[in-house]
Amino acid sequence: EEIIEASEIGAFETLKVLYMLSSIGYVSPKRGNTTAAERSEASAAEMGAPADFDESKFTALVMEYNTMFSYLHRCLLREAGPVATALFEKYFSELQAREEDGLFAGMYPAADGSLPVKPILENLRHEKTGGPPRQRLEARLQSLVDRQIRGLRRILGDEYARHAEGALQGLRMKL
């Protein structure tokens, strides 16, 4: 109700946007009058995750990378047409095949190039490999960005890839 009241696009359109965001894992319904930290701890406990697993921070990280994936997908789509989606899926499946622990197992990129947040977090919670989860997650997401940049470079040339890398750096600073 608070979101609808604050929205400038009307209740119906706001609900449509919220439904879309919920269906791709960007947002989830509020559970009672708990704080985000309490919800994160409860969710982690339910899933058997360590107590220091901060879901909100991991969600923010995935969403930051999703912004970059969407930007790169739009660039490739604008310049290369429908082949862009096939290329992104190829890079993503190559990354999935290289994985030993299955962080990206059982998921596919959305039409805009973004990745589903909830399955990534669930897989991250259950990973058996060592090391800080944030570093593992960021390394994998960055690997996918690097693959997409290499694809841009291969298809559109060095200058275009350098421009996209600069735009991504600016985008990361804003986020």
Residue by residue, what is the 3-state secondary structure of the chain? CHHHHHCCCCHHHHHHHHHHHHHCCCCCCCCCCCCHHHHHHHHHHHCCCCCCCCHHHHHHHHHHHHHHHHHHHHHHHHHHCCHHHHHHHHHHHHHHHHCCCCCCCCCCCCCCCCCCHHHHHHHHHCCCCCCCHHHHHHHHHHHHHHHHHHHHHHHHCHHHHHHHHHHHHHHHHHC
pLDDT truncated to tens, each residue of the chain (175 aa)?
677 777 777 777 777 787 777 777 777 766 555 554 454 444 444 444 454 567 888 899 999 999 998 888 888 888 888 887 787 788 888 888 877 667 888 888 888 888 899 888 888 887 766 678 888 889 889 988 998 898 888 888 899 889 999 998 887 766 5
